[in-house]
Structure 1
Amino acid sequence: MSPQISTDAPGTSASDQLTGRVVLVTGAASGIGRAIALAAAQAGARVVVSDLQPEGEQTARAIVDAGGEAFFVPCDVADAQAVEHLVAETVNHFGQLDVLVNNAGISGGAQLAHQLEVDAWDRVIAVNLRGPFLCARAALPHLIAARGAIVNIASTYGLIGAPLAAAYCASKGGLINLTRQLAVDYGPQQVRVNAVCPGYIDTDMGGGRARLGPAGQAAAQTRREANAARQPLGRQAQAVEVARVVVFLASGAASFMTGSVVTVDGGCTATFNHGS
């Protein structure tokens, strides 16, 4: 017997795609995570903003100031106890959890594998792969009840080999296949699990660029823009361009999508030249 298709999914206009839903976004203090939290709120969701950085409070405040509902819970997603607390706070505050967006991640720097410290490798894997697992593990009982969704923020570096990024590539490749595996296990419970792979996005991941000083920042930005210019669309994206795709995947508009890996990369993985 085929499962029944829900007829009360949220609408698909920009203002009501997530109406009535509770969305938890990790790594939402800045960059793509902040853009996702703001876009989810604009789409009608009540949002739980989480991050290890206290600036997550500013994201929540921006949502509330715009007339939405949000609150901030600090969390290290690599810490199982902290993640359990995060999900418990979400459900205690809003009474439900409908969508988990696993966005928190770190780059781990740029080194050859034989020069990479084991502790540095472990930290990247802990945040980028263990973290989404822990968050999914804690959230899934609630998502099953809600027939909800998980959106994992992976990377084009999980699809290709990229220079000087052994730990990052491994973690994001693992996250992509974790996405597929969870889709297989939880599809029968009507929980959808998809991944988004951003390409060159105009953000400062982990604040690394900010620590370089003015000259270093300018040089780093110039390199990124030059690499992005080689892609078919010829530019970097703004974080909101990723956020719109995440809102779509989280909403009823994507009701028959699960196990999908969606690139938001300006065409970079469609070409041979990925930059450097």
Structure 2
Amino acid sequence: MLLKNKVIFLTGGTEGIGFECAKVYQTAGAQLSIISNSEESIKQAAEKLSGETLFIMADVSVAADMERAVAKTATNFGRIDVIHNNAGISNPSKAVHETTGEEWDNLFNINVKGIYNTTRFGIEELKKTRGNILNTSSLVGEIGQQIHAAYSATKGAVNALTKSMALDYAPYGIRVNAVAPAGVWTPMLRAWSRQQPDSLIIANYLNEIHALGYCPEGDVVADACLFLVSEQARFITGCILPVSGGAELGYRRVINQSI
């Protein structure tokens, strides 16, 4: 029970990687506050999760929503030990010159400003518990990706933000880390796949970019997240942990051959 009696504030925890994390965290003994902006996904997640779970309908890009969500979580559970900033979007799959201003702003507001909002309103709770923050990044934040410039830029920002936050909050005993998957089969990845020039080859491409030979489900990332938010990782901070099956070792070569 690595997370026994811990309270985790998890954004985007109703589907994809976030939902896999919710299941793993709950199994490890945590109490969950799950934030989503989708009423339907909340309903579906609530039917599958057991135990004491608080669901909050809120948008991470809206400061007032996050202030309310943090306050409600702290009131309900009496503490917050972990903030896992998992909420994110990947649309659109476009080059920079094809990306509209609205699309650009939406990506940064959710993927980057969302972290700012949860930290701004949640940091005092984490100071009380000497808790930690985990951000869900992506391998593309380090190496880039074709026709996905704005998304890659947000994840590069997440990586830099993670390292700077680790330095800022270390004096309070607060660790800040990130996980950086490559391909992971989630609803978001499936949507991205449909936007590619030749969507029929994407499944094979996603298998081949990973040195281990397959594109995984979200549980492999959830297991890494469990480690990072637990006391097992008590001396790790400022880490951008690849959960990539070795994709970065041959990623550019495979991209050039496949797309």
Using the size of structure 1 for normalisation, the TM-score is 0.87
Counterpart of 2:42 (choices 50, 56, 65) is: 56
Matched-pair identity in %: 33
Q: CA deviation at 1:269?
A: 1.1
Report what 1:27 is aligned to. 12
Shift of 1:274: 4.7
CA separation of 1:134/1:207 partners in 2, compared to 1, >3 Å: closer, same or farther?
A: farther
Write the distance in 2 (CA, Å) between the matches of 1:225 and 1:97: 41
Which runs of no fewer than 5 residues in structure 2 stay unpaired?
A: none
The residue number in structure 2 matching 1:76 is 59
Q: CA RMSD in A?
A: 1.9
- Give distance in 2, aligned partners of 1:71 and 1:221: 40
Residue 45 (structure 1) aligns with: 30
> For 2:169, which of 183, 186, 193 is the aligned residue?
186
Name the count of aligned residue pairs. 253
The answer on whether the counterparts of 1:61 and 1:70 sit within 8 Å (CA) in structure 2 is no
Question: How many angstroms does 1:224 deviate by?
Answer: 3.4
Partner of 2:207: 228
Shift of 1:221: 6.9
Equivalent residue number for residue 5 of structure 1? none
AA partner of residue 57 (structure 1) = K
Q: Does 1:267 align with 2:250?
A: no
Asked whether the 8 Å contact 1:128–1:171 carries over to 2, the reply is yes
**Offset, 1:56:** 2.1
The equivalent of 1:255 in structure 2 is 234
User: What amino acid maps onto 2:73 in structure 1?
Assistant: T
- Asked if 1:138 is matched to 2:124, the reply is no
Letter aligned with residue 60 of structure 1:
A
Q: Report the alpha carbon displacement of residue 227 of structure 1 after superposing the two structures with TM.
A: 3.1
Give the 3 Å change call, closer, same or farther, for CA 151–221 of structure 1 in structure 2. Answer: farther
- How many Å apart are 1:90 and its aligned residue? 0.6
What are the residue-to-residue correspondences of 1:200-239 with 2, within 5 Å? 200-205=183-188, 208=191, 220=199, 222-239=201-218
- How many angstroms does 1:188 deviate by? 0.9
The 3 A distance-change label for structure 1 pair 61 and 269 is: same
State the shift of 1:206 in Å.
7.7
Query: What amino acid sits opposite 2:235 in the alignment?
Result: F
After superposition, give the CA deviation of every residue in 1:123-168 in whole Å (9 maximum; x if it has no partner). 0000000001111111110011101011100001101121111110
Letter in 1 for 2:239: S
Q: Which runs of 4+ in 1 moved over 4 A?
A: none
Q: C-alpha separation between the residues in 2 aligned to 1:221 and 1:52?
A: 31
Report the residue type matching 2:93 in the other structure. A
Q: Are the aligned partners of 1:49 and 1:70 in contact in 2 as well (CA < 8 Å)?
A: yes
Tell me which residue corresponds to 2:146.
163
